[in-house]
Structure 1
Amino acid sequence: MPSYQRLGKLPQKRHTQFRKPDGSLYHEEIFGTEAFSGVYSTLYHEFAPTRVSHIKKLRDLSINEWQPSEHRHHHIRTKNLETTKDAVEGRQPLFYNNDVFISSARPTQSMESFFRNAQGDELYFVHEGKGTLESVFGLLPFHEGDFIVVPRGTTYRITLDSKESRFLVTESAGPIEIPRRYRNDYGQLVELAPYSDRDFREPEELAIHNEKGEFEVRMKVDNALMSYTFDFHPLDVVGWDGYLYPWIFNVNDFEPLTGRVHQPPPIHQTFEAPGFDVLSFVPRKLDYHPLAIPVPYNHSNIDSDEILYYVSGDFGSRRGIEIGSYTLHRRGIHHGPQPGAIEASLGKDSTNELAIMIETKKPLRVTSNAERLDDPNYPFSWTSPVKIGATVP
């Protein structure tokens, strides 16, 4: 997590009386992980957050799994994925295992009710669009290229300011964090990290509400969607401090590390979580050895699955790729530059590609949504020379 933050009104000492102007007490909350041993924040509410007036189960969040008869690579095309609903209800699940759940969404509506994911941390990548994440921690405006990290249990909603939005949504069974190798023993980012604390954005303004009425908070838990009704506005926090809160990092602030010869994917790591890593392939200078081959070498993920989500630019090692494409390269099967890619790359000194990789430690399952968007010819795209690179507008 980024460093300690504080916002709004706070008492001088925690766990002590903190009174409103009318003399009544604010309601203190510890929002924390690992019981009382992990990172946490302390929040102060106008109303007791325990004061729920109605509870209802809305539905099970069952997944329709697609079980292909062949173990093969996949190309999932989501460029023309239907636009629908909001940033939560509009998610189209594509890949999952016990550690991670990956969806695409093209929402057209702002969220009316509030949402709380009690099942996992969330990472939004904003491919297209802009808006605001409104949470108990305050307002967090976002725009194209932003990674939005939302800790599990955060009460929030997303309002949209654009007609077209496209999100890659990753839900994690464990915390989504800055890689340990980028931090010193005190949690500070080291000089060799590909970003600094100045690149992070945290909530800067509280959205303090004290009105009463009927307000719904929908919660994902145990693969079901629950509805909780409160008689007060959920965004009633007047102040908070701590280490656990939503924050943003923009992919364009990732500073790529390059070498004389081709560097392996871990050099692009952006986030880590139990069971998977998130990497950012950003525009950068290419390898500068006189005999360098600027595209990846052939390799086989012997014990992991690899997803690459294509955002923009020319991806030199891959053909037939378009905006919103996912490639899933399966464990045990080789992949690498397609025919003609190596020769076409020689002498190039830079790339304008932008892509997000998610590499998992456990096999991924695919959904029926992925099945209907799958290109069955993709596994055979290494068999004949073709024009390499697809320009994405």
Structure 2
Amino acid sequence: MPFYHQLGQIPNKRHIQFRKPDGSLYLEQVMGTKGFSGIQSILYHLNPPTQVSTAKKIRDWATPIEQEGANRHRHFITFEAKIEGDPIDGRLHLLVNEDVALAIAKPVEPMNYFFRNSDGDEIIFVHQGEGILETVFGELPYRPGDYLVIPVGTTYRLEMKSKENRFFIIESFGEITTPKRYRNEHGQLMEHSPFCERDIRVPTKLNTHTELGKFEVRVKARNQLHSYIYDFHPLDVVGWDGYLYPWAFNIDDFEPITGSIHQPPPVHQTFAGPNFVVCSFVPRMYDYHPESIPAPYYHSNVNSDEVLYYVKGNFMSRRGVQEGSLTMHPSGLPHGPHPGKIEASIGKDRTEELAVMVDTFRPLKVTKQALALEDQNYMYSWLP
């Protein structure tokens, strides 16, 4: 997120001597993107972050893809998944392409290691559960409805505080930003943006760990998962400053843009990634033209796949979907309201739906493990 933040102890200049009470140096790490021309932060460690005692490959990260058949609309009932494991190993990938992977997780085990995605940024949408995102940049408490935006290379662990936890995860192979049209030349969110910096939560508590022992950091790199063992706690930062750090935004703080007639999906955009966007559908007033049709018109995704993850509420243009449903409407096929939903929407003044949408500009592929969750009749649900 492009605004400056700092936590802990830092020297008054970059790249100068910064010493511990015993006279030895803190270890400075510059963490930046795009070859030092993107956003960056500078962190000060107790220990050299390069000091690894063991390194090994655990497994490939990629998930087997289904054998492709007819291009069709898809519906996956994610609440039927028997997902276990922790927040990383418990991820069930459903849809993937060269730019992004979409997964769900319902972890029941704590993370006894730390994780770092070195292939791109992540968004973890918290459907259920509360806890703390522990990171090298400090702690970030989370609650239902939060988007946790975690930049590439961030070492983190999810400390779950609830018995029931459910996440929708967007793994990018590049940078995730706020929409460019809502930012001025200085990076500030402008007046017509549906959210602003006041809505964004950043780490405010930095715990500097001094423990020694054996600590594992699992790293996703080159679409593989690797294990690294350190002889010290990886969250050993005494201070940092910069523009690169994790942050949280709650979907309830998204202010919907409405109009006298139906507004197109881009008004719901919340994030932008490489060849994909993320949108938030939140409770809002319907269109106020006297002859308006609140239900969306039929539309064709000429060059994008549309994915909707249904969080809660009354999904006014759909039938047969439920909390936790994930639908994909691929490019090449028109889609829109189910039979009867257009007429039924006329005269209504409000919707209470809550959903996360991901539109990709390259085709998504369905994983084999998603097939067990599929509603095979969804393609034909528009028949009378």
Shared fold (TM-score, shorter chain, > 0.5): yes
1:147 is matched with which residue? Answer: 147
Q: What is the SS of the residue equivalent to 1:66? A: coil
Question: Could you say what secondary structure the match of 1:379 adopts?
Answer: helix
* Distance in 2 (alpha carbons) for counterparts of 1:328 and 1:70: 14
Offset of 1:67 from its aligned partner?
Answer: 2.4
CA deviation after TM superposition for structure 1 residue 129, in Å:
0.5
* 2:113 and 2:217 in contact (8 A); partners too: yes
Alignment deviations for residues 62-121 of structure 1 (CA, whole Å, 9 cap, x no partner): 311112421100011101222311111100000010000000000112211000111121
Q: What is the identity percentage for the equivalent residue pairs of Structure 1 and Structure 2?
A: 56
Q: Is the 8 A contact 1:139 1:204 kept in 2?
A: yes
Letter in 2 for 1:72: R
CA deviations on 1:230-271 (whole Å, 9 max, x unpaired) are 111000000000000000000000000000000000000000
Q: CA deviation at 1:207?
A: 1.7
Query: 1:175, CA displacement in angstroms?
Result: 0.5
Partner of residue 123, structure 2: 123
Paired residues for 1:305-384 under 5 Å: 305-384=305-384
* TM-score for both structures, normalised by structure 2: 0.99
| Partner Cα separation in structure 2 for residue 210 and residue 382 of structure 1 | 60
Partners of 1:376 and 1:69 lie apart in 2 by 13
Matched residue type, 1:300: S
Matches within 5 A, 1:135-214: 135-214=135-214
Which residue does 1:26 correspond to in 2? 26
Equivalent AA in structure 1 for residue 309 of structure 2:
Y
**Aligned partners of 1:162, 1:100: CA distance in 2, in Å?**
28
The SS at the match of 2:348 is: coil
CA RMSD of aligned residues (A): 0.8
- 2:250 & 2:82 partners in 1: Cα distance? 26
Matched ranges for 1:268-283 at <5 A: 268-283=268-283
Q: What is the alpha-carbon distance in structure 2 between the residues aligned to residue 123 and residue 298 of structure 1?
A: 29
Task: Tell me how far apart the structure 1 counterparts of residues 74 and 68 of structure 2 sit (CA, whole Å).
Answer: 10
* Structure 2 Cα separation of the partners of residues 83 and 273 of structure 1: 27
Q: How far apart are 1:362 and its partner, in Å?
A: 0.3
Deviation track 1:168-213 (CA, whole Å, cap 9, x = no partner) reads: 0001111010111110011111000000100000000112101111
CA contact (8 A) 2:83 2:92 kept: no
Q: Counterpart of 1:79 in 2: which secondary structure?
A: helix
1:274-313 paired onto structure 2 within 5 Å: 274-313=274-313
Contact between 2:71 and 2:330, CA under 8 Å: does it hold in 1?
A: yes
Partner of 2:57: 57
Q: TM-score normalized by structure 1?
A: 0.97
After superposition, residues 223-302 of structure 1 pair within 5 angstroms as 223-302=223-302
Amino acid at match of 1:225: L
Name the SS of the counterpart of 1:252 in structure 2. Answer: helix
Find the aligned partners of 1:262 and 1:381 in 2 and give their Cα distance: 24
Q: Take 2:95 and 2:83, find their aligned partners in 1: how far apart are those partners?
A: 19
Distance (whole Å) between structure 1 residues aligned to residue 60 and residue 345 of structure 2: 49
Paired residues of 1:5 and 1:243 also in contact (CA < 8 A): yes
- Give the Cα separation in 1 of the matches to 2:341 and 2:24: 69
Give the counterpart letter for 2:383 in structure 1. T
Measure how far apart 1:302 and its partner are. 1.0
Given that residues 278 and 358 in structure 2 are in contact (C-alpha distance below 8 angstroms), is that contact kept between their aligned partners in structure 1?
yes
Secondary structure at the residue paired with 2:206? coil
SS at match of 2:174: coil
For 1:265, the aligned partner's letter is P
| Cα offsets for 1:1-36 (capped at 9, x unmatched) | 241000000001110000011111000000000111
Q: Take 1:289 and 1:24, find their aligned partners in 2: how far apart are those partners? A: 70
Separation in structure 2 between the aligned mates of residue 182 and residue 125 of structure 1, nearest angstrom? 22
Equivalent residue number for residue 389 of structure 1: none
Instruction: List gaps (5 residues or longer) in structure 2.
Output: none
How many matched pairs?
A: 384
Secondary structure (helix, strand or coil) at the match of 2:261 reads coil
For residues 304 and 31 of structure 1, the distance between their equivalents in structure 2, rounded to whole angstroms, comes to: 33
Question: 1:285-322 CA distances to partner (integer Å, 9 max, x unpaired)?
Answer: 00011110001000110111000110000011000111
Query: Which stretch of structure 1 is more off in the superposition, 74-83 or 30-39?
Result: 74-83
Cα distance between partner residues in 2 of 1:101 and 1:167: 14
**Secondary structure of the corresponding residue to residue 80 of structure 2:** coil
Moved over 4 A (4+): none
SS of equivalent residue, structure 1 residue 28: strand
* Residue of structure 2 in register with 1:218 after alignment: 218
- What letter matches 1:283 in structure 2? P
Separation in 2, partners of 1:117, 1:251: 24
Q: Take 1:235 and 1:122, find their aligned partners in 2: how far apart are those partners?
A: 19
Aligned to 2:39: 39
| Aligned partners of 1:95 and 1:101 also within 8 Å | yes
User: Is the aligned partner of 1:14 residue 2:14?
Assistant: yes
Q: Secondary structure at the match of 2:126?
A: strand
CA–CA distance in structure 2, aligned partners of residues 357 and 328 of structure 1: 10
Q: C-alpha separation between the residues in 2 aligned to 1:134 and 1:2? A: 21
- State whether residues 94 and 103 of structure 1, in contact with CA within 8 Å, keep that contact through their aligned partners in structure 2: yes
Q: Is 1:70 matched with 2:86?
A: no
